[in-house]
Structure 1
Amino acid sequence: MQQLLVVGDIHGFPETFVELLDVGSFEQRVLQLADLSGRPGLRGDNLHDHLVKKDGLQHAVRALRETNGPPCFGIGFSSGGTALWSAVKEGLEIQALICVSSTRLRFETSPLNIPTIVFWGDLDPHRPTEIWNDAVPECCKTYAGKHHDFYRVDALAPNSPLRTDIGAFIESVSGLHSGGPAPAR
């Protein structure tokens, strides 16, 4: 059984994981940024400040690198995706990475050595430029009319474009087959 390592956002989404994927058989492991950063009581802006203005992100990255288990797929929501990206850069071994609304990735300057895809809402004012999207991640997709936190509904809604695109990416990387194409840039 393949494993899906999920890292939530600063608000604790997802607290527990409803079946996200409509492909394959995945054991899902959900980790919270607050726990990973060493401050389990923090949420929202307080957690964001701890991550970006203090050493919380470094703690989260270290905790992710020490995560035991077989190689897996990583999916991170917002700052959770940024933590996963940084952990991969520092040695976390996963098969592929999916980042949803991880806008702080705009500060990354080079691609990872694994398959990556990023998803954005086009109304998110902090998403990276198209130049960045063409240079750093392997694939990207921007959803029209969507804000930063669109994933809170779309990740859980059956047959949503986000769920379909996540599934297609995982299928394309893992060799599973659903008959659908991988998501386009």
Structure 2
Amino acid sequence: MAKPKLLILSDLFGGQHPEWINYYTDTLRSKFEIQYYDVLELACIDASNLVEADIHKQFLDGGIDKAVETLLKLETDKVTVLGFSIGGTIAWKASLQGLKTTHLFAVSSTRLRYETEAPNCEIKLFFGDQDSNKPNSNWFLDLKIPSEILQDQNHQLYLEEKNATAICAEILKVTL
């Protein structure tokens, strides 16, 4: 039997295969066919000489929409998606626009706090309790979204192996 497909969408910094992504792929590869996407490539952003604020601005000035459009062209079958930071926001918006998402896992996707509609799929969000930009509790209640708030963690909690292990365990528990 073919493994279900898992899309992994990078954070703002992208990269061909950032080291920390291995925490996820090494664990999830046994149960999923994994497709990794660098969101900078999806959005056609050249970040080679840019600082974080400039990259962020490019995503807000059409990059998110471009990444969603590109992803929708590339992926036409049912998928599970794991997105980090801006990657989770791109996954959310793509799911609203027709990406056939069965499960959406987003980690530190703080821009979701501006969303007023949830995609029609299983959703689980992860945030650090010290991430000042995470959605407030009313947002989760209004959209009926389950979340996991990791204690003593900040925005880049996904870079730590112990957090990756916990997130992967949750993905495997929920999807299989």
TM range (shorter): 0.7 to 0.9
Q: Deviations 1:73-117 (Å, cap 9, x if unpaired)?
A: 101100010011001111111211000000000001122210001
Question: Does 1:135 find its partner at 2:142?
Answer: yes
Question: What TM-score do the two structures reach when normalised by structure 2?
Answer: 0.85
2:108 maps to: 101
Q: Give distance in 1, aligned partners of 2:43 and 2:53.
A: 14
1:1-185 maps to which residues of 2 (within 5 A)? 1-12=3-14, 15-16=17-18, 17-18=21-22, 20=24, 22=27, 24-41=30-47, 44-52=52-60, 54-68=61-75, 70-136=77-143, 138-153=145-160, 157=161, 160-172=162-174, 174=175, 176=176
- Secondary structure of the residue aligned to 1:112 is coil
- The count of aligned residue pairs is 168
Shift in Å at residue 150 of structure 1? 1.1
CA distance in 1, matches of 2:168, 2:96: 22
The sequence identity of aligned pairs, in percent, is: 25
Deviation at 1:33, TM superposition (A): 1.3
User: Over the residues paired in the alignment, what is the CA RMSD in angstroms?
Assistant: 2.1
- Give the helix-richer structure, 1 or 2: 2
Mind listing any 5+ residue stretches in structure 1 that lack a counterpart? 177-185
Unaligned runs of 5+ in 2: none
Give distance in 1, aligned partners of 2:146 and 2:171.
Answer: 9
Determine the C-alpha separation between the residues in 1 that align with 2:90 and 2:22.
22
